[in-house]
Amino acid sequence: MNKGNNVQNNETQEQPSNAQKNKKVLSKLVLIVFGMFGFGFALVPLYDVFCDITGLNGKTNESAASYSARSVDETRTVNVQFISRTAQGIPWKFEPMEREITVHPGETKFVKFYAKNESTQDIVGQAVPSVSPGLAAAYFQKIECFCFNQQPLKGKEEVEMGLQFYVDPELPEDISTLTLSYTLYDITGKVDS
């Protein structure tokens, strides 16, 4: 009992300051917690920016680039390979009409991809590009690409889709082959909703 009283006396003296101090630190820490939670989400756009700069994941530009190469570098050639995949569940035939072309950096080229909706239903497709090596992605400039838009196809409809691009002459010297891969996804459901 004696001891209990002691406790009370002691703490009533110190309490206001202590509790206030605690509250101050606590609110700062809670702020950090929320800040870090937000930071977790901020990592998403940050990652995209980071990828843009470094070509980390081989994502290419998502909207049209305007042609800005100063000149065509005729002394150098770059092989550009095209590959395609269709994702699960999309009944389309989708392939490049040319497998590989050779370009000079700075030169504009036009290639076509063929797509056909093999089913009788109307389907909206979306091609997602990826470039390897990832570093080259930043130098692969699409002026016009079917992948900028969704591609709706009626049942049994077929289409030839164009891609106009140039390879930036700034492309690092040690890259002589780059591969552009398209994966085609069915986004009908997402478009509807």
Partner 1 sequence: MTTDTLTEQPSADHDSHDDHHDHKPTGIKRWLYTTNHKDIGTLYLWFSFIMLLTGGALAMVIRAELFQPGLQIVEPDFFNQLTTVHGLIMVFGAIMPAFTGFANWMLPMMIGAPDMALPRMNNWSFWILPFAFAILLSSFFMESGAPNFGWTFYAPLSTTYSNGSTAFFVFAVHIMGISSIMGAINIVVTIMNMRAPGMTYMKMPLFVWTFFITAYLLIAVMPVLAGVVTMLLTDTYFGTSFFDAAGGGDPVMFQHIFWFFGHPEVYIMILPAFGIVSTIIPAFARKKLFGYASMVYATSSIALLSFIVWAHHMFTTGMPLAGELFFMYCTMLIAVPTGVKVFNWVATMWRGSLSFETPMLFSLAFVILFTIGGFSGLMLAMTPVDFQYHDTYFVVAHFHYVLVTGSLFSIYAGAYYWLPKWTGNMYSDSLSKWHFWCSLISVNLLFFPMHFLGLAGMPRRIPDYALQFADFNKWVSIGGFAFGLSQLIFLAVVIKCIKGGEKAEAKPWDGAEGLEWTVASPAPYHTFSTPPKVD
Partner 2 sequence: MKRRNLSWLTLGVFLSSSAWADMQLNLTKGVTEISREVYDLHMLVMYICTVIGIVVFGAMFWSMVFHRKSKGAKPATFHESTKVEILWTAIPIVILIAMAIPATKTLIEMENNDNSDVTIQITASQWKWHYKYFDQDIEFYSVLSTPREQYENQLNDSSEKGENYLLEVDRHLVIPANKKVRFLITSDDVIHAWWVPAFAVKQDANPGFINEAWTKVDKPGIYRGQCAELCGKDHGFMPVVVEVKSEEDYAKWIDEQNALNAQAAEAEKASLNASMSMDELMTLGETTYVAYCAACHQVSGLGLPPAFPALKGSPVAMGDVNEHISIVFNGKAGTGMQGYGKQLSLKQIAAVVTYERNAWGNSTGDMVQASDVNASTGGGNGDTGTSIESEVEAVADKVEQKTAEIVAVVEESAPTEDLTKEYSKDELMEMGEKVYLASCSACHQPTGAGLPPAFPSLKGSPIVMGDVTAHIDMVLNGSAKNPAMASFSGQLTKTQIAAVVTYERNAWGNNTGDVVQPAAVDAVSAK
Instruction: Report the interface residues with partner 2, using CB under 8 A.
Output: 57-59, 81, 83, 85-91, 93, 99-100, 116, 118-120, 128, 130-133, 156, 158, 174-177, 179, 181, 183, 185-186, 189
User: Measured from the CB atom, is 76 or 108 closer to partner 2?
Assistant: 76
Both structure tokens of 76:
């150098």
The option from partner 2, partner 1, none interacting with 162 (CB < 5 to 8 A, set by class) reads none
The option from partner 2, partner 1, none interacting with 149 (CB < 5 to 8 A, set by class) reads none
Distances from the Cα of 53 to the Cα of 17, 62, 167, 188, angstroms? 50, 14, 16, 32
Partners of 146 in the β-ladder: none
Q: For residue 133, give the nearest of 174, 92, 87 by alpha carbon.
A: 174
What minimum distance in Å lies between the beta carbon of 24 and partner 2? 35
The Cα 113–Cα 152 span in angstroms is: 15
What minimum distance in Å lies between the beta carbon of 113 and partner 2? 13
- What are the respective helix, strand and coil percentages of the chain, to the nearest 5? 35, 35, 30
User: Measured from the CB atom, is 10 or 71 closer to partner 1?
Assistant: 10
Contact 175, 78 (CB under 8 A): yes
The option from partner 2, partner 1, none interacting with 3 (CB < 5 to 8 A, set by class) reads partner 1
The option from partner 2, partner 1, none interacting with 156 (CB < 5 to 8 A, set by class) reads partner 2
Q: 171-193 burial string, b = 16+ CB within 10 Å, else e?
A: beeeeeebbbbbbbbbbbeeeee
The alpha helices in the chain, defined as continuous H runs, are 2-54, 188-192
DSSP three-state, residue 147 = helix
User: Measured from the CB atom, is 150 or 179 closer to partner 2?
Assistant: 179
The residue ranges that bind partner 1 (CB under 8 A) are 1, 3-4, 6-8, 10-12, 15, 18-19, 21-23, 25-27, 29-30, 32-41, 43-44, 47, 51, 54-59, 62, 87, 126, 128, 130, 133-135, 183, 185, 187, 190, 193
